[in-house]
Amino acid sequence: MKQDYSKKATNQQIRERFDKDTERFSNLETGQQTTIDAPLTMELCTEAAKYATPHARELLDIGCGAGNYTLKMLSKIPNLNCLLNDLSMPMLQKARERVSPQTKGTVTLIQDDMRNLDLPDNRFDIILAAATLHHLRDDNDWELMFAKIYKALSPGGSFWVSDFITHHSEPITTLFEDKYSSYLDTLGGPEYRQKVLDYVHYEDTPRSLNYQIALLEKVGFCKIDILHKNSCFGAFGAIK
């Protein structure tokens, strides 16, 4: 059955929220605290990229925010050429301010919806996508984006995702919704929990880990690995 996304946030509404929150997202402790195991998954994704593509030169960070993942990647493989993409220009400017001193490579910004990216074939050694793919809407969006990423990777290049995920069965969905709600309560109590759940409901349309693994296979990846899963969050990736 076709999903109705008409009541979901538009790109402009999502961009406006992030435009106002640049400083918080420049700090891993405050900017990603609503993501369970955020420091661990960032470490795992960038370490996996280092092991998979140790001689990497070209990095694409999709939905880069204030640059946390790129900074962590540069701490493992120095002097990458970094192409940073985000909806929010204040986020991109903050990312460039933080990333530029850490690399002798180029730092290029693209402010646009990730679905609009016009990427050269076989170009990037590492592509990162942290807490951003969940803004994709229908199946066509998801397949378009995964196919675009596969084509843009160089042979042997790797793609790593850390993101919010769903589940297929109703009982398991309820289980992890309850666990996530309890986690949010520990961060700021019931009011904070409701605030986060409200914007998740309004902005996000995540897919399950199984869905995304199957999609990686469909677009051409054959070396696929799950790095971590905890509650409503997962980290995984693939090598071309």
The rounded distance, in Å, linking the Cα atoms of 203 and 63 is: 15
> Residue 45 is part of which domain span?
36-159
| Long-range contacts, 1-7 (Cβ 8 Å, 24+) | 2/138, 3/137, 3/138, 3/205, 5/137, 5/138, 5/205
Classify residue 11: in a domain, yes or no: no
Classify residue 83: in a domain, yes or no: yes
Classify residue 148: in a domain, yes or no: yes
Amino acid at 179: K
Percent helix, strand and coil across the chain, each rounded to 5?
A: 50, 20, 30
Strands 153-164 and 233-239: antiparallel
The rounded distance, in Å, linking the Cα atoms of 49 and 238 is: 9
Classify residue 98: in a domain, yes or no: yes
The rounded distance, in Å, linking the Cα atoms of 199 and 78 is: 36
pTM: 0.94
Residue 82 backbone dihedrals phi, psi, to 5 degrees: -115, 120
Both tokens of 172, joined, read 């398991």
Classify residue 186: in a domain, yes or no: no
Classify residue 233: in a domain, yes or no: no
Q: How many domains does the chain have?
A: 1
Classify residue 10: in a domain, yes or no: no
Mean pLDDT by 10 residues, the chain (240 residues): 73 75 65 87 97 98 96 97 96 96 98 96 98 95 98 98 97 96 94 91 93 98 97 97
Classify residue 166: in a domain, yes or no: no
We report the CATH number of the domain holding residue 136 as 3.40.50.150
The rounded distance, in Å, linking the Cα atoms of 42 and 37 is: 9
